[in-house]
Chains A and B, each alone.
Chain A
Amino acid sequence: MNLQDLFTALFFDYTLRTVALGSAVLGAVSGALGAFAVLRRQSLMGDAISHAALPGVVLAFLISGSKDILALGAGALFTAWLGTMAMVYIRRRTRIKEDTSLGLVLSVFFGVGMVLLTFTQRLPNAHQAGLDRFLFGQAAALLERDVVYMAVFGGGALLLLALLWKEFKLVSFDPEFATGLGLPVRALDVLLTTLLAVAIVLGLQAVGVVLMSAMVVAPAAAARQWTDRLGSMVLLSALFGAISGVAGTLVSSLAAGLSTGPTIVLVASFIVLLSILFAPARGLVPAALRRRAQASGALSQG
């Protein structure tokens, strides 16, 4: 398939269009909420949340007996949220440090998820279940119905983000000052983390639990390089996420056997690399050029 065919297919091929649309939605939502996670130094929390979603997916299948996306998503969100609350509880009530609590939750929940997954695959209807696609993601399996759900829940999360914008901004920048103003900082904290969990669960089917945290971190890290305003950082992060989603889906559709998740993540990582190197104010290359110009300027003056 050459490039032109690819673009023709993007607009006219039903499957590819659905898949690309879904990837764009998941990239945009996780990009926008990921910006807050990165600014709040919760990059690794995204990883723990996505791994903690796996047991929920399998449990939802075992209980409901169907692979209805709503049931699986609800299960994923439930255990992801449980994992998040476990991390918060460990941090507040014990002397265990935050990174240790992340490591504990990630490995325990993922371990339980893998045990359940291997157990489930021995069941009679295992192959139809195809739950293992939640490990590395399979965007090609996205149906129009899935994309509609993703758009509805993702849109809801973004709407809440917009409505509580100034509160989330203040809680992220200076939680003590926010407490001093009388804002319910803990509740806002939990809500923002829950929205992050929603964004992560939206992407599980296409990207998978193992790599979904990259969609939280990578677009945000890239966006931070280009701007010094929170609003433009969140928009840019959403845009980078969406571009990664669509481009990754297209590339993975070129060859059979290319998992969508890893391809999307590779595209996002490439955007990060470009941003670290070439962003005007914070990039390495412009900084080196400025140093060189300064040095030669000093020389010619001296």
Chain B
Amino acid sequence: MNQANLAIEITDLTIAYKEKPVLWDVDLEFPEGNLTAIVGPNGAGKTTLLKATLGLIPPSAGQVLVFGKPLRQQRRLVGYVPQRGSVDWDFPTSALDVVMMGRYGHLGWLRRPGKAERDLAMQALHSVGMQDFAGRQISQLSGGQQQRVFLARALAQDAAIYLMDEPFQGVDAVTERAILEMMRRLRDEGKTVIVVHHDLQSVPEYFDRAVLLNVRKIASGPVHEVFTDDNLRAAYGDRVTRLGAAALPQLEPESRAGLPVMGK
């Protein structure tokens, strides 16, 4: 794999809050055009890894390169879907308005969003099945619909890399399918999608690659290489080895070859 098709390259990343390390000496490479899950137990530093990649948290050490250059020069290439709970949904604004915020980086200072931005935002709402809710005040949307508005906003950013923080958290089945379709479409267009994910069971079905994280990087690579009993035990401890064996029967060595993702 040469340097050119690495969407994100993280080296020696360490982050500590009040001297307690949350991420310790993490090296990661995300090749372009893949759908990657970041998994690990609670407190493993998954969200921190995502925020550090976006430059929202200053690292204690280490660096993040986006297509070989520092993040600061490449911000426009990185789209972001924060956790739904990170904002006040009673803010007086509409779904369409939130999606148009995805265009603010392209617009630059002093320019107001106009018809072009409105059209792009409507298109983005359309692709997550939310076109009928454009004018709706955002607190009047269900949790899944709010999540899709956030996804549409990221789509409107028209980025090359998408970072998503638990997009499947607490959403309905329709939204889950819409998110999955959107992620696959982005991947098929050659974009890089990196998702913090909490449901181990769906990882082999949904993702090409996985990063197992517990403060340190345990493993990263294609899902079938990462999801071994040894790696899962290293990340989750004995508790989840049992869970892993029960919940992920398809990861038993003998049945592994039958996984649908293997075919890729």
Residue positions of A touching B, CB distance < 8 A? 39, 41, 163-167, 169-170, 172-174, 176-183, 224, 227-230, 233
Nearest residue, chain B, Cβ from A227 = B92
A174 near B94: Cβ-Cβ < 8 Å: no
A229's contact among B55, B78, B94, B113, by CB below 8 Å, is which? B94
Contacts of B94 in A (CB 8 A): 228-229
B92 near A167: Cβ-Cβ < 8 Å: no
Q: Tell me, rounded to whole Å, the shortest Cβ–Cβ distance linking B42 to chain A.
A: 20
Contacts of B97 in A (CB 8 A): 230
Chain B contact surface mostly: mixed
Nearest residue, chain A, Cβ from B106 = A181
B137 near A180: Cβ-Cβ < 8 Å: no
A182 near B82: Cβ-Cβ < 8 Å: no
B105 near A230: Cβ-Cβ < 8 Å: no
Q: Tell me, rounded to whole Å, the shortest Cβ–Cβ distance linking B18 to chain A.
A: 9
Is B240 part of the binding interface, using a Cβ–Cβ cutoff of 8 Å?
A: no
With A166-B113, A170-B104, A227-B92 given, name 4 new contacts (CB 8 A).
A166-B101, A174-B87, A176-B86, A177-B82
Interface residues of B in 60-100 (CB under 8 A from A): 72, 75-76, 78, 80, 82, 86-88, 91-94, 97-98
B91 near A39: Cβ-Cβ < 8 Å: yes
A39 near B56: Cβ-Cβ < 8 Å: no
In the bound assembly, the distance between CA atoms of A26 and B156 in angstroms comes to 39
Residue positions of B touching A, CB distance < 8 A? 51, 54-56, 72, 75-76, 78, 80, 82, 86-88, 91-94, 97-98, 101, 104-105, 107, 109-110, 112-113, 137, 153, 157
Q: Tell me, rounded to whole Å, the shortest Cβ–Cβ distance linking B10 to chain A.
A: 17
B112 near A233: Cβ-Cβ < 8 Å: no
30 A-B contacts (beta carbon < 8 Å): A39-B88, A39-B91, A39-B92, A41-B88, A166-B104, A166-B112, A170-B101, A170-B104, A173-B93, A174-B86, A174-B87, A174-B101, A176-B82, A177-B101, A178-B104, A180-B54, A180-B55, A180-B56, A180-B78, A181-B75, A181-B157, A182-B76, A182-B105, A228-B93, A228-B94, A228-B137, A229-B93, A229-B94, A230-B92, A230-B97
In the bound assembly, the distance between CA atoms of A166 and B106 in angstroms comes to 13
B104 near A167: Cβ-Cβ < 8 Å: yes
Nearest residue, chain B, Cβ from A182 = B75
Nearest residue, chain B, Cβ from A165 = B112
Known: A179-B55, A229-B94. Is A174-B105 also a contact (CB below 8 A)? no
Contacts of A228 in B (CB 8 A): 92-94, 137
B105 near A181: Cβ-Cβ < 8 Å: yes
Q: Tell me, rounded to whole Å, the shortest Cβ–Cβ distance linking A167 to chain B.
A: 7
In the bound assembly, the distance between CA atoms of A167 and B113 in angstroms comes to 11
Known: A174-B87, A227-B92, A229-B93. Is A179-B54 also a contact (CB below 8 A)? yes
